[in-house]
Amino acid sequence: MALSGIVIYKMLPQTNCKDCGFPTCLAFAMKLAAKQVELSACPHVSEESKAKLSESAAPPIRLVTLSSNGAEVKAGNEVVLFRHEKTFYNMPGLFIRVRDDQPVEQIKENVAEADAYSVNYVGIDLTLDGFAVQSVSGDPQVFKAAVASVRAATQRPVILISDNPEVIAAGLDSIEGKGALIYAANGENWQQMAALAKEHKAPLAVAGKSLEELADLTEKVKGAGVEDLVIDPGTRDFSSTLAYGTQIRRLALKKNFRALGYPTIVFPGDAGDPGLESMLATQAITKYAGFIVMDDFAPQTVYPLLVLRQNIYTDPQKPIQVQPGLYEINDPTADDPLLVTTNFSITYFSVANEVEGSGLPAWLLVTEAEGMSVLTAWAAGKFDAERIAKDVKRFNAADKINHKRIVLPGHVAVLSGELEEELPGWEIRVGPREAVDLPAFMKQAL
């Protein structure tokens, strides 16, 4: 049962030492009651209080982790309904499903192709998270062989799909239970499935036909000793998947309803149509899936989903940044120009890609501007002559070039006078406003 801020406050040391980052114990208690901080942020809470507060401090949506040979998928542990309230933390895992009625060599080939897929987006390598193996044959040995062929092609986590405990047991044997999510316990098989999950220390998905049935089942399975659960309310169409997903999230976050406080699993692949599948997966990424199982692996389907997921699961208050520093583009020599920009990822990649694509060599000084674009950073006082000059010195730009010439972005031409004062003896050139015009500028003016 959720505790109020005042009740929590009475269990804290009440010294207002600020070690938790809050000015008072009461402020910390209020945040703890709202599930916006972890109890571990207070290093002074007594063991007795810790035990009492553990229920209140537990995340409203349990964190479920699938780990396999260094690859890891985490789902749950979310604290807000809407991303703009704070941030979403753990991206839903994207899984590609194969079926055990396919030839094993075909499975291996398909999985290897999807496993190798990787795309670089603003400096981040985006990949799929794992594979699901569905038993169509109903035969444990056939399933076991299919799971083995998946494991031969990938080290990523797998979801084993069957409602027959014997089939699941064969699949678990095949991979020694490592990195597997069992799908699924239902009203008939939950005792055997719970026993398998316990034996192999594997998370277990629970499937119900209604929220009531689901809540009843999760309590039973939890009572049998399995804590890491994933839930499937059984919906497959757009509106009921959205409605149930939202209700589950609301009940967990707003009502602290523990029986549904688990990440969900959805199956866009069941739509049977790549277009619908892609749209269902899009909906699932935004609201509020923990695991997404798809059938269609095609770069044109997967790429937008990976990018969308990356964007939804970044902190809206922290722009994506690159490391400040002096970057080399196209193997520059000491004669080549020195350009400057900010460390907002999209700004950096716009400039770097244009210069790289032109084949012209250059040094690119990326300054610390708290991840803001050129104009925003300038307006916020984070990209000024003093900072640029400081980074010219910090990254030893003068040691790499045999000239003293630096190119400012055209949007901040106004800084050229001040920069001359900050960098005595340097020539300040004003470049174009848009990155796309840089190659022509470099050919003509440098």
Among 13, 138, 325, 410, binds ligand SF4 (CB under 6 A): 13
**Contact (Cβ atoms closer than 8 angstroms) between residue 429 and residue 395:** no
Residue among 50 and 400 whose Cβ is closer to ligand SF4:
50
Q: At 44, give phi and psi (nearest 5°).
A: -105, 0
Interacting stretch for ligand SF4, rule CB under 6 A, among 9-17, 205-213, 220-228, 281-289? 9-17
Interface mask (CB under 6 A) for ligand SF4, residues 183-222, using x and -? ----------------------------------------
Q: Nearest distance from residue 55's CB to ligand SF4, in Å?
A: 18
Question: 345 is written with which tokens?
Answer: 């990822």
By CB under 6 A, is residue 3 in contact with ligand SF4?
no
Report 263-322 residues binding ligand SF4 (CB under 6 A).
none
Q: Nearest distance from residue 318's CB to ligand SF4, in Å?
A: 24
Instruction: Please tell me the distance from the alpha carbon of residue 294 to that of residue 26, in angstroms, as a whole number.
Output: 46
**Contact (Cβ atoms closer than 8 angstroms) between residue 203 and residue 193:** no
Q: Nearest distance from residue 26's CB to ligand SF4, in Å?
A: 8
Owner of token pair 């022509």: 440
Report 337-376 residues binding ligand SF4 (CB under 6 A).
none
Residue among 23 and 187 whose Cβ is closer to ligand SF4:
23
Interacting stretch for ligand SF4, rule CB under 6 A, among 7-15, 117-125, 159-167, 230-238? 7-15
Q: Beta-carbon neighbour count of residue 100 at 10 Å?
A: 27
Q: Nearest distance from residue 317's CB to ligand SF4, in Å?
A: 22
Interacting stretch for ligand SF4, rule CB under 6 A, among 15-23, 173-181, 361-369, 377-385? 15-23
Q: Nearest distance from residue 40's CB to ligand SF4, in Å?
A: 11
Q: Nearest distance from residue 12's CB to ligand SF4, in Å?
A: 5
Instruction: Please tell me the distance from the alpha carbon of residue 177 to that of residue 170, in angstroms, as a whole number.
Output: 10
By CB under 6 A, is residue 20 in contact with ligand SF4?
yes
What is the total count of residues that contact ligand SF4 (CB under 6 A)? 13
Among 4, 10, 15, 304, binds ligand SF4 (CB under 6 A): 15
Residue among 30 and 147 whose Cβ is closer to ligand SF4:
30
Residue among 19 and 437 whose Cβ is closer to ligand SF4:
19
Interacting stretch for ligand SF4, rule CB under 6 A, among 12-20, 169-177, 289-297, 411-419? 12-20
Q: Nearest distance from residue 144's CB to ligand SF4, in Å?
A: 52
Q: Nearest distance from residue 57's CB to ligand SF4, in Å?
A: 12
By CB under 6 A, is residue 5 in contact with ligand SF4?
no
**Contact (Cβ atoms closer than 8 angstroms) between residue 283 and residue 264:** no
3 state SS for the chain: CCCCHHHHHHHCCCCCCCCCCCCCHHHHHHHHHCCCCCHHHCCCCCHHHHHHHHHHHCCCCCCEEEEECCEEEEECCCCCCCHHHCCCCCCCEEEEEEECCCCHHHHHHHHHHHHHCEEEECCEEEECCEEEEECCCCCHHHHHHHHHHHHHHCCCCEEEECCCHHHHHHHHHHCCCCCEEEEEECCCCHHHHHHHHHHHCCCEEEECCCHHHHHHHHHHHHHCCCCCEEEECCCCCHHHHHHHHHHHHHHHHHCCCHHHCCCEEECHHHHCCHHHHHHHHHHHHHCCCCEEEECCCCHHHHHHHHHHHHHHCCCCCCCCECCCEEEEECCCCCCCCEEEEECEHHHHHHHHHHHHHHCCCEEEEEECCCCCCHHHHHHCCCCCHHHHHHHHHHCCHHHHCCCCEEEECHHHHHHHHHHHHHCCCCEEEECCCCHHHHHHHHHHHC
Interface mask (CB under 6 A) for ligand SF4, residues 25-54, using x and -? x--x-------------x-x----------
By CB under 6 A, is residue 18 in contact with ligand SF4?
yes
Among 3, 8, 11, 22, binds ligand SF4 (CB under 6 A): 22
Interacting stretch for ligand SF4, rule CB under 6 A, among 17-25, 169-177, 322-330, 419-427? 17-25
Residue among 42 and 340 whose Cβ is closer to ligand SF4:
42
Among 6, 19, 187, 421, binds ligand SF4 (CB under 6 A): 19
Residues at the interface with ligand SF4 (CB under 6 A): 12-13, 15-20, 22, 25, 28, 42, 44
